[in-house]
Amino acid sequence: MDRLLLGAGGAAVSFLLVLGGVALLPDALRDSVPNSVIGGVVLVLGVVGALRLGRRAR
């Protein structure tokens, strides 16, 4: 259960980091980036975090 909570927490942190990074972009650039790109970045960060968490536990 602890690993599940750590994984969910890591995904939430990566999501918030990406949203913060997008918020810092200028308006014109932010509007030109499709939502699917932002979602893809969040998914990649989540997978990388899950892999790192899995390797650390062994």
Please give the pLDDT value at position 28.
Answer: 84
- For the cut 70, the answer to whether the pLDDT of residue 58 exceeds it is no
The angle subtended at Cα 16 by Cα 10 and Cα 22, nearest 5°, is 140
Q: Could you read off the pLDDT of 3-57 as tens digits, one per residue?
A: 778 777 877 777 787 778 778 888 887 788 888 887 787 778 777 777 776 666 5
Structural domain spans, the chain: 2-57
Q: Could you read off the pLDDT of 32-43 as tens digits, one per residue?
A: 888 888 778 777
Please give the pLDDT value at position 57.
Answer: 52
Query: 9-33 in b/e burial notation, b at 16+ Cβ within 10 A?
Result: ebbeebbeebeeeeeeeeeeeeeee
Query: pTM, whole model, 2 decimals?
Result: 0.53
Contact 53, 6 (CB under 8 A): yes
